[in-house]
Amino acid sequence: MRELINRIPRFGRALLVLVSDLILVPFALYAALVMRLNDLLPLEFWFRSLPLLLLLLIAYPALFYSFQLHRIKLSGFDVSAVTKTVLTVFTLSLIGFVSNIVLSLG
């Protein structure tokens, strides 16, 4: 499996990471909602959160490339790589926080 992944060009591997994140983030959100609300199908909360989720799913690829996370080598995770990752997470959190406030006011 490792050889197969190593044969994929660098851009392809970055795209693979991006797509896997786009798939795993909604599942992680769903699992968090199930645990937090103690309900297997938190549909009401899910529908209220859908605009926020869509906004974050659109913002993530833009931030992924603007902070050049696709250029980070995981074998040499240095200070600049950590800084870029932290900035991406902080920006996504800030977008989510502000959007949640705006959506709750409307």
Give the percent of the chain with pLDDT over 90: 3
Q: Residue 51: give the domain boundaries.
A: 2-105
pLDDT (0 to 100) of residue 90: 92
CA dist 60 and 83 (Å) reads 16
Best CA proximity match to 60, nearest among 29, 104, 18: 18
For residues 17 and 57, is the Cβ–Cβ distance under 8 A? Answer: no
Cα 90 to chain centroid, rounded: 11
The number of distinct structural domains making up the chain is 1
For residues 103 and 51, is the Cβ–Cβ distance under 8 A? Answer: yes
Q: Is the pLDDT of residue 64 over 80?
A: yes
Helix segments in 38-78, DSSP class H: 43-66
